Amino acid sequence: MIAASMTNIERYADLYENELFDMEKHFTGLIAAVFTPMCEDGSLNLSQVRPIVEYLIRTQVSGIFVCGTTGEGPSLSSEERRATAAAYVKAAAGRLPVIVQVGHNSLAESRILASHAQAIGADAISAIPPTYFKFKAIKTLVDCLAEISSAAPKLPLFYYHIPSVTGMDFDMVEFFRQAGKRLPRLAGIKFSDSAIPKFQAAAEFENRRFDVLFGSDEMLLSGLCAGAAGAVGSTYNFAGPLYRRLIDAFDRGDINEARRCQGLSVEMVRIFCRYRAHPALKAAMKLIGLDCGPSRLPLVTLTPEELQAMKEELGAVGFFDWALNKG
């Protein structure tokens, strides 16, 4: 028994050393919250994943976020989510880091998804907690994330903070204070909220100990001013060149050019919102030659007439120049 115990101690020590090394990796730049491509009958169309990944690499996207809100993760079965995650990891082939969103109303299912993400070679996991039964204590949130993370002990974990969807708007600084002591794999937060002061407070916590990924595309410039080093967004799928110009302008101190780029982003997002935001974003992929198919109910796919009208509005503000990197 003593010999066996020593073997386990050595094994855990090796794992801990590897975790310390892995946790030095930071997730920066533009991370596309990718779509889940579907056939017209609503089934998965995973043959389209590789072309999507190749396009993202060409447009200098720095990573991908799978099965989140943009990817309709909550509307997919667990089997479909595993298949989608595996397809993206395979297509990325180590060229882009892949974060897999594993949150589920069932913690048991979240654990299965997390374990699968680790097994297929994902670079990190992210999770919202169960949301059907609302709770008010950060400790409960940490308890849920601990359950999930324990199934993927080698992977960094990002809490998916999206209060507009979960209905739970916790103080992320206090979250870091509590979670930092209990979650050894906690890498940071996917901060999908427009509250810049809250974002900055979390980003500055303990001398920027954690990665806080900014999640509001139409406010990226504000996020950069507040210290964002990485951002996750839907429009990075097809407008990466626009945001690269924004970031480059910000880095060289050309605020007027950065603001001009952000203004174009704002106008683009306003157009999408006029056509049911999430289905419109997915439909935009078809407009650049990467058809991701319909949205799954309760999201309502754009009609051909709506798609044509949206195409005309986007063309009027130069969308196809940004998306195809022509100007």
Residues with catalytic roles: 160, 190
Euclidean distance between CA atoms 301 and 307, whole angstroms: 9
Euclidean distance between CA atoms 290 and 96, whole angstroms: 19
Residue 61 phi/psi, 5° resolution? -70, 145
Q: Which residues of 20-53 are buried (b: 16+ CB within 10 A; e: fewer)?
A: eeeeeeebebbbbbbbbbbeeeeebbbebbeebb
Strands 63-66 and 98-101 turn out to be: parallel
> Of 299, 243, 245, nearest to 269 (Cα)?
243
Residue 213 phi/psi, 5° resolution? -85, 120
Euclidean distance between CA atoms 40 and 90, whole angstroms: 24
- Cis link prior to 153 (omega < 30° from 0)? no
The contacts of residue 146 (CB under 8 Å, 6+ apart) are: 182, 183
